[in-house]
Amino acid sequence: MSESIVRALKCRECGQEYAIEPTHVCEFCFGPLEVVYDYDKLQGKFTRELIESRPQTMWRYKELLPIDGEPTVGVQNGFTPLVRAKNLEKVLGVKELYIKNDSVCYPTLSFKDRVVSVALSKAVEFGFKTVACASTGNLAGSVAANAAAAGLESYVFIPHDLEQGKVLGAGIFGTKIIGIKGKYDDVNRLCSEVAGKYGWAFVNVNVRPFYAEGSKSLGYEMMEQLGWRAPKHVVVPMASGSLCTKVDKSIKEFIKLGLIEDNGTAVYGAQATGCSPISKSVKDGTDLIHPVHADTIAKSLAIGNPADGYYANRVIKESGGWAEDVSDQEVVDAMKLLAETEGIFAETAGGVTLGCAMKMIESGRLPRDESIVLCITGNGLKTQEAIIDAIAKPRIIDANLKEFDALAEADGVATTDK
């Protein structure tokens, strides 16, 4: 592999640069640190042919992910399907619609496997033996699984009232799982204090600058799978707002490296109305994010104080996108629609993304005749509580053909009997 092009960590607020180490806030202004690169070193070397020659994992873009050498954790992760959503196109009355389907991301069925493989590979480089996270569920499962496979100890901190699927989906991996009496924002606050005290790699605290970069791989794949082009519009669910900014960064990097043409891609953010500080700021035309007390079934997006909200707001405005929010009922309806039209069972956040896209198509914010990608980031099997009452129950009969015949007749189903 060619020499790493990672240059430094840089404060997004004041521009102060720092060496590559496990740290995440600027000592001068508390601004978040971001990995910056010397893209010039890749000019002419990082080509479509090189990328296509590599295995179908997120690591085929490893030059643009902030690790030294080869990944050590999550080597198989990423490269999820991009699905052309023909049935949904008809229902929504749009011409070209795709689903980037991270509900089947390896190994824990959410896009968090991308960020975690970068964070843990980096943690191993730094020499950490224990990894940890504050999580709304998906991250906990991903940290636990990837840590188990890498032989690392893990602690995961979650709100105490998470969906069972997410609690089980972390606990099975033998992680030390801590439920905090409070909302995600309380978990987050505690973790930032724990991270200062224990010598662990907290994936979304002290190794967050590296962790967050993993999200870019979703964007890279989307562009390669579209035939080396960016969509005109991409809709992203927002909790902290990080994914929104990283999808935008991935597109800008591919343009800079000459891998795609600039398609003027607009980025759109989706939130649940019960926790919509970022979409509210976009709609209100301000860049001030007012924290809220989150209350929504879309628990993976329930971050009332979004750390990247300001930057997500800026990306949305500068790219010409928009933001929207939907009620819990609209989330459930959209989850069902996606499942019934495309055979994709997304978690509640996926219902938020599709629900907001539908609203923006109706309002004209999303044009009907241009390419749109919806980012689906997690799997519905983990959030069953949200829809359990909205789904038809099985009709119970005896193992008796006559009983089934009666049922089929009621359904109006014809038999092949002459």
Partner 1 sequence: MSVNVRIPTPLRKLTGGADEVVVEAVTVNEMIDNLEAAHPGLKARLCDDAGEIRRFVNVYLNDEDVRFLNGRSTVLKDGDEVSIVPAIAGGC
Q: Per rule CB under 8 A, is residue 371 in the interface with partner 1?
A: no
Contact residue for partner 1 among 63, 96, 125, 185 (CB under 8 A) = 185
> Are the C-beta atoms of residues 300 and 169 closer than 8 Å to each other?
no
CA distance 149 to 131: 13
C-alpha distances in angstroms, 380 versus 230, 247, 344, 351?
27, 23, 9, 9
Nearer to partner 1, 63 or 350 (CB): 350
Q: Which stretch binds partner 1 (CB under 8 A): 72-80, 88-96, 182-190, 408-416?
A: 182-190
Burial of 7 (0-12, 13-18, 19+ CB in 10 A): middle
Q: Per rule CB under 8 A, is residue 237 in the interface with partner 1?
A: yes
In residues, how long is the chain?
A: 418
H or E stretch covering 418: none
Q: Which stretch binds partner 1 (CB under 8 A): 19-27, 144-152, 257-265, 362-370?
A: 19-27
Q: Per rule CB under 8 A, is residue 192 in the interface with partner 1?
A: yes
Contact residue for partner 1 among 35, 243, 366, 372 (CB under 8 A) = 243
Contact residue for partner 1 among 10, 24, 166, 232 (CB under 8 A) = 24
Q: Per rule CB under 8 A, is residue 66 in the interface with partner 1?
A: no
Listed residue (311, 317, 314, 326) closest to 271, CA to CA:
326
* One-letter amino acid of 163: E
Burial of 282 (0-12, 13-18, 19+ CB in 10 A): buried
Burial of 384 (0-12, 13-18, 19+ CB in 10 A): middle
CA distance 372 to 232: 6
Q: What is the Cα 170 distance to its own chain's centre? A: 17
**Contacts with partner 1, 104-123, as mask; x by CB under 8 A:** -------x------------
CA 345, 221, 260, 269 dihedral sign is: positive
Q: Which stretch binds partner 1 (CB under 8 A): 45-53, 183-191, 358-366, 381-389?
A: 183-191
Q: Per rule CB under 8 A, is residue 16 in the interface with partner 1?
A: no
Q: Per rule CB under 8 A, is residue 169 in the interface with partner 1?
A: no
Q: Per rule CB under 8 A, is residue 373 in the interface with partner 1?
A: no
Burial of 263 (0-12, 13-18, 19+ CB in 10 A): middle
Contact residue for partner 1 among 4, 8, 13, 228 (CB under 8 A) = 13
CA distance 149 to 110: 17
Q: Per rule CB under 8 A, is residue 221 in the interface with partner 1?
A: no
Nearer to partner 1, 67 or 247 (CB): 247
Q: Per rule CB under 8 A, is residue 272 in the interface with partner 1?
A: no
Q: Per rule CB under 8 A, is residue 179 in the interface with partner 1?
A: no
**Contacts with partner 1, 118-157, as mask; x by CB under 8 A:** ---------------xxxx--x------------------
The per-residue DSSP string of 25-68 comes to B-TTT-PBEEEEE-GGGGTTTS-HHHHHTS-SSGGGGGGGSS-S
Q: Which stretch binds partner 1 (CB under 8 A): 18-26, 225-233, 365-373, 383-391?
A: 18-26
Q: Per rule CB under 8 A, is residue 28 in the interface with partner 1?
A: yes
Q: Which of residues 297-356 bind partner 1 (CB under 8 A)?
A: 300-303, 305-308, 310, 349
Return residues touching partner 1 (CB under 8 A).
13, 23-32, 111, 133-136, 139, 182, 184-186, 188-189, 191-193, 195-197, 204-205, 208, 212, 236-244, 289-291, 293, 300-303, 305-308, 310, 349, 377
